[in-house]
Structure 1
């Protein structure tokens, strides 16, 4: 799957999308995610405390590369996610709901929408790749539904 979306969004940059905003989003989201009853246990199990800051730095680099075109991310996230055997659609829905909540709270509208669109595309790609890896029948799998965040 090729992402045809331009890397930078002039509207989001005009609203103030920059490295600092991305860092705020990543740090707030992952602080909340670690405490979340649905996705928190996955994060706490697979990202030990002593690796947490490095994880935040890597995710910040990912979003900076994705939204600002910085080229600072050089990771391979899929193999790590494939190894998380308990990962399922409930986790993806919750991740997206919390992420939407975070960016809507912290970002101007166009920037929040850019984050949301990318995050939904990423979640779908991950869940399809994970399903293929597990040998699941993906022929009639519907897209994720949006879950409200409490």
Structure 2
């Protein structure tokens, strides 16, 4: 980690990040009360984390079913037909049903998470994606864990291989 990032991610910085990951709508006053900083100190730390690229955005989490899109699926694309992965990703990302797109290693080239209004709609999305590569689809039945707050312990566990011994 760069020295500036290490300074920003001291114990207080991590506590600030964890609070923001749990609720990005907290006011600077509330954040300060929770982690023991003044409003100006919180504002300065958040600004510096944004400038350093640690915090890259703030998002509203929406209930897709309430919006009329109850079907979600993960689709792996293999054999992207001799085109560059960049071109394939560009084509995939043009579809409004695509929520996330990742380039991956292994037998698949691209993995996407899509949303649809029905199984028929999903079939149309799969047909469109099959123009880019060979699709393998898994419908998401439930999401027991919506989002995970990234704690600093991950870095500590990554530095110590002893944590993963059988």
Which one has the bigger helix percentage?
1
Structure scoring higher RCO (CA < 8 A, sep ≥ 6) equals 1
Identify the structure with the greater strand proportion: 2
Q: TM-score, normalised by structure 1?
A: 0.30
TM-score, length basis structure 2:
0.28
Tell which structure's C-alpha radius of gyration is larger: 2
